[in-house]
């Protein structure tokens, strides 16, 4: 099952193991975690051009907001006609109502690779050496639910997972605050399901509860990157113009 992931999983295995061995003299037992973070950053750097393209798509969609609102008002009693007219509008403007979704959707395959990487006992027919690596007493292939079922939530392994969940919650809180602030102050097109958008970021905590620790670290790193990337790409543009001192104004 999922045999199509065998090649990318093998590639990720050799990359993460090589990074771990390279960092081991400096970081010791934490080198594999650092290698996972490094792997995640490499993935996000590769996807960064798509994030820029998605931003351009969002801005193009924002320009169409008055026309979209007009169509919704005009065809509010005919949903089928409304959908046809909206599709026509986006097609003619060479944009999409789903602008901005592609970088998020592309995260799923990489998360699946990281999941398989720390769930597979063998990689390319050889033992998976990464399964023996750990972080503060929690092996990187360990899951949170068995830890809780064993009533060992406050053992080193349990505390590592609690720290992971706390960091995910912190990133989610920042994301919700940023989204709320942007929707209140920006002229971008409003996204549907505003209340749902305030809840969805916290779903990463639930997802991490069913993943091996290594995949949870990947999820935390990529979410933190997304939050920082969105903030940077959508930062206010400032015009640096020279203003002469008042003494020379005359």
pLDDT (tens digit per residue) in 116-135: 999 999 998 899 998 889 89
pLDDT of residue 13: 92
Among left, alpha and beta (phi > 0; psi -120 to 50; other), residue 24 is alpha
* pLDDT tens column, 32-60: 999 999 999 999 999 888 887 777 767 76
pLDDT of residue 186: 54
* pLDDT tens column, 105-116: 777 888 899 999
Helices (H), the chain: 6-27, 31-63, 65-74, 79-92, 102-105, 107-117, 144-149, 156-185, 194-199, 203-209, 213-233
Buried b (16+ CB within 10 A) or exposed e, 86-122: beebbeeeebbbebbeebeeebeebbebbbbbbbbee
- Rounded to 10°, the helix 6-27/31-63 angle is 120
Reference 204, options 224, 233, 184; nearest CA is: 224
Confirm whether pTM is higher than 0.85: no
Which segments in the chain show pLDDT lower than 50?
1, 187-189, 193, 242, 247-250
């Amino acid at each position: 099952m999922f045999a199509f992931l065998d090649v990318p999983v093998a590639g990720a295995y050799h990359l993460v193991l090589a990074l771990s061995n390279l960092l081991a003299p400096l970081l010791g037992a934490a080198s594999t975690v650092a290698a996972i973070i490094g792997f995640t950053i490499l993935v996000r750097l590769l996807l960064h051009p798509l994030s820029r393209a998605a931003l351009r798509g969002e801005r193009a969609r924002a320009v169409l907001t008055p026309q979209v609102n007009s169509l919704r008002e005009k065809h509010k009693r005919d949903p089928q006609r409304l959908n046809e007219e909206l599709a026509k509008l986006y097609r003619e403007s060479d944009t999409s109502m789903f602008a901005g979704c592609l970088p998020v959707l592309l995260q799923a395959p990489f998360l699946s690779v990281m999941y398989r990487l720390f769930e597979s006992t063998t990689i390319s027919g050889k033992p998976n050496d990464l399964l023996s690596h750990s972080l503060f007493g929690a092996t990187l292939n360990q899951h949170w639910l068995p830890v809780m079922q064993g009533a060992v939530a406050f053992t080193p392994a349990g505390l590592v997972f609690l720290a992971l969940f706390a960091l995910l919650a912190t990133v989610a809180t920042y994301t919700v605050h940023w989204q709320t602030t942007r929707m209140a102050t920006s002229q971008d097109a409003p996204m549907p399901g505003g209340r749902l958008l305030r809840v969805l970021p916290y779903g990463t905590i639930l997802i991490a509860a069913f993943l091996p620790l290594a995949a949870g670290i990947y999820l935390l790193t990529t979410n933190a990157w997304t939050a920082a990337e969105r903030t940077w790409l959508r930062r206010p543009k400032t015009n640096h113009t020279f203003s002469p001192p008042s003494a020379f104004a005359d």
